[in-house]
Chain A
Amino acid sequence: NAGVTQTPKFRVLKTGQSMTLLCAQDMNHEYMYWYRQDPGMGLRLIHYSVGEGTTAKGEVPDGYNVSRLKKQNFLLGLESAAPSQTSVYFCASSYPQTAYEQYFGPGTRLTVT
């Protein structure tokens, strides 16, 4: 039982390049999330999904796209990377009920130069 995994762990991009971050969970969770963590700002929600084939915007969605083609996978795409997207990205998943915590992946450290 791997929990939530993220690929890759580290990445350096040049401005304007594109990339996709992959999140996978093996806990059969309905809900999945992408957050970014910047120094001094805590975690902020980028996009989320409440089920296969559904996605919705979070607090800071600009510059990102997501897809949830399979229940266990949630992809985060950067079409044209900008230095402001330098951050640590966390994926999380959870059951729908209020009382259940979100389980987080180990994070992806992205640097855009």
Chain B
Amino acid sequence: AQKITQTQPGMFVQEKEAVTLDCTYDTSDQSYGLFWYKQPSSGEMIFLIYQGSYDEQNATEGRYSLNFQKARKSANLVISASQLGDSAMYFCAMREVQTGANNLFFGTGTRLTVIP
């Protein structure tokens, strides 16, 4: 079974609008971490935001916020006030504490295109 599911292969958003990228996860672990990475066309992987399974508040980092709904096992990324530079692939990833080595399981990604 897929540990991370990203159901939106591609998304479009108007510049300055907000957009939500979906991510659901599957784990039986009680302790885990959720990450979002951005991959622009240049290819590097850029860390955006982290949410721990025991964190009571949703994580925020500047224009990025993570809408964490534990009961639904979802960890959606919200980008506010989209900019042209936000056009990229976005990957959701999960780390299960029981694996012991901080291994990340990645989803297949969502390609976001920001329209001027």
Contacts and interface: CB of A to CB of B under 8 A. Distances in A.
A48 B105 CA distance: 13
Contact of B103 (A40, A48, A100, A107): A48
B106 A44 contact: yes
B104 interface: yes
B43 A101 contact: no
B45 A40 contact: no
Nearest to B95: A98
Interface residues of A, number: 27
B101 A98 contact: no
Contacts, number: 59
Contact of A56 (B50, B97, B101, B107): B101
A74 interface: no
B101 A90 contact: no
A111 B38 CA distance: 24
Contacts of A2: none
Interface centre among B93, B102, B103, B104 (most CB of A within 10 A): B102
Interface residues of B, number: 26
Given A88-B43, A106-B44, A107-B43, A45 B31 contact: no
Interface of B: 4, 31-33, 35, 37, 43-45, 47, 50, 52, 91, 93, 95, 97, 100-109
14 contacts: A33-B103, A42-B106, A42-B108, A43-B93, A43-B104, A43-B106, A50-B100, A96-B102, A98-B52, A99-B50, A101-B50, A104-B37, A104-B45, A106-B44
Interface of A: 31, 33, 40-45, 48, 50, 56, 58, 88, 90, 92, 94, 96-104, 106-107
